[in-house]
Each structure stands twice: as C-alpha cells, then as structure tokens.
Amino acid sequence: MRAAAISPARFLPALFGLFCLFCAVAVVEGLLRAGLLNRFIVPLPTEVAGSFGRLFGEEHLLARFLTTVQETFYAMAILALIGVPVGTLLYQVPVLRKATETWISALASAPIVLMYPLFLVIFGRSAATIIVMGVIAGLPPLILKTIEGLSGTRQSLINVGRSFRLTRAQMLTKIMLPAALPTIFVGLRLGLIFALINIVGVEFLINFGGLGQLINDLAERYDMPGMYATIVFVILVSVLFFFVTERLERWLRRMA
C-alpha cells in the first residue's frame, strides 16, 4: 500500500501537464522567433521569464503581491462571514430562496467589474473599493454552493440527528454544515478566484493597490515582458490560493 502511494505513476498527470505547458510555451517562442507572431504585442516567453528578477528588484513585486494578498484576504473573510450565513438563511427559508436564487445565479455570470465606478464614488480611490468589488464578485458562487451543500445532506444523516432529537440549530451546526463543508469550500474557492480576478481588475482600472496597478503601470510604459510576467505571477497566486484553501478545507474537516 505504502509503496503504491509513492509510486512515480502518481506524479505522471502533473508531469504530463507541465510537459504540455512547456510545449505550448516552446511553440509560442518558435512562432515569435519565426516572425509569425508580432513581438511588439506578444513578447518572447524567455524574455518574460527573464524579467522576473527585475520585477522583484525594481518594481517591488513582492510588496505589490502582499498588498493584493491582503485585499484578497479581507475580501475572503468578509465573503465567508456573509456568504455562508446568507446561503444558510436562503436554504432555511424556501420562499426567500425561490425568490432570489435565479437573481444570484445571474449575478454569478454578470460582468460585476463594470460596477466599479459606483463604488469608486462611494469609497473613493481606496482599498475599500477594491475589497468590496472582490466581495460582490465572490458572493454568488459561495451562496449558491452553500445552498447546494446543505440541500445535498444525506437523509440518513438528518435522520440520525432527528433520532437524537437535535434542535434546529444543532442539526445545522453539528450535521448539516459539516456535511456541506466540501461543497461550501468549492464555493469559497470559486468565490476566491472570482474575487481575485476582480480585485486585480479593479486595481488595474483605478490604478491603485497591488498587482493590478503594477500591470497597469507596466502596460502604460509598454513594458510587455514585465506586464506578461506579472500576469503569469497573478495566475501563480491564484493557483497558490486554490492550494491553500484546499489544505484549509482538509484541516477544517478534521476539526469539525
């Protein structure tokens, strides 16, 4: 069993994925060098990779990253504090759920980033605008997944709770929420990604804050390798957040 767990075959999908990514980058590099793609619009991937050192040194990428992480962290905390209770409330009040579920689903696919002028007027050119935009973008998937998770609680588990005469609050906290936790975390992860996209997007649009502002600055200076490198960095941050929430989910499930 143990030998099978550390078998190289376990890493094969990840290695194959990396190989495919490497091949795609190599193809782009080849097309650019052959002159089939415009190097003024798409920089060479090797130049993009080479600009990372400069970004950390001259453009303070780490400090920008920490600013974005901080904004995302606040957005995520607010998301969890609002999204899970709202999802739970909508689950428990069917009339409210039926009245709002379609609207929330529609909101999940709406280009919420376009609402930024409204919040710019309310909160000014500040981190508050960015965080609120992140929260609004992340709420719909979290609310919908909370409802889905609670609705999907196995009847046998609910019956166990009923047989032990649990109160409504106990049923919710001791059985339904722990049972729904994996689905809620899918919502939280989706919400986090939506929030991050919007946070970086609004940082870009209002030229304030962390990585989004850096992308804006680099674009205005026409520093294409630096700009693409920052975009790659944002993608890596997104992957990191996804990984962290996955670990958090496992930890919370153990604690529940």
Partner 1 sequence: MSQASGSGTPMSDRKHVLSADNVSKKFDTAEGPVVAVDNISFDVRPGEFLSVIGPSGCGKSTLFNIIGGLTPDHDGTVTVGNEVVRGPHPSIGMVFQEESTFPWRTVIDNVCFPLEIAHVPKAERLDKARHFINLVGLNGFENRHPSELSGGMRQRVAIARTLVSQPKILLMDEPFAALDEQTRLLLGDKVLQIQQELKQTTLLITHNITEAVQLSDRILVMTYRPGKLKRMVDIDLPRPRTSDVVSSPAFGAYVARIWGDLREEASRGMQDSERAR
- 155 lies in the site for partner 1, by CB under 8 A: yes
- 248 lies in the site for partner 1, by CB under 8 A: no
Q: Rounded distance, CA 196 to CA 205, Å? A: 14
Size of the site for partner 1 (CB under 8 A): 20
- 221 lies in the site for partner 1, by CB under 8 A: no
- 173 lies in the site for partner 1, by CB under 8 A: no
- 207 lies in the site for partner 1, by CB under 8 A: no
Q: Candidates 159, 221, 235, 248: give the one binding partner 1 (CB under 8 A).
A: 159
Shortest Å, Cβ 252 to partner 1: 9
The token duo for 172 is: 């919710």
- 77 lies in the site for partner 1, by CB under 8 A: no
The token duo for 35 is: 């002159």
Q: Which is nearer to partner 1, 97 or 174 (CB)?
A: 174
Is-contact 212 203, C-beta < 8 A?
yes
Q: b/e string for 229-240 if b means 16 or more Cβ within 10 A?
A: bbeebbeebbee
Shortest Å, Cβ 129 to partner 1: 38
- Going from the C-alpha of 98 to that of each of 34, 91, 93, 107, the distances in angstroms are 57, 10, 9, 15
Q: Candidates 160, 235, 236, 240: give the one binding partner 1 (CB under 8 A).
A: 160
- Cα 65 to the chain's mean position, in Å? 15
Is-contact 214 59, C-beta < 8 A?
yes
At how many degrees (to 10) do helices 177-206 and 116-123 cross? 80
Q: Candidates 42, 110, 113, 157: give the one binding partner 1 (CB under 8 A).
A: 157
- 179 lies in the site for partner 1, by CB under 8 A: yes
Binding span for partner 1 by CB under 8 A among 97-105, 111-119, 160-168, 235-243: 160-168
Q: Candidates 46, 151, 170, 207: give the one binding partner 1 (CB under 8 A).
A: 170
Q: Which helix (H) or strand (E) holds 70?
A: helix 61-92
Q: Which DSSP state fits 114?
A: G
Residues that bind partner 1 (CB under 8 A): 154-157, 159-160, 162-166, 170, 174-175, 178-179, 181, 253-254, 256
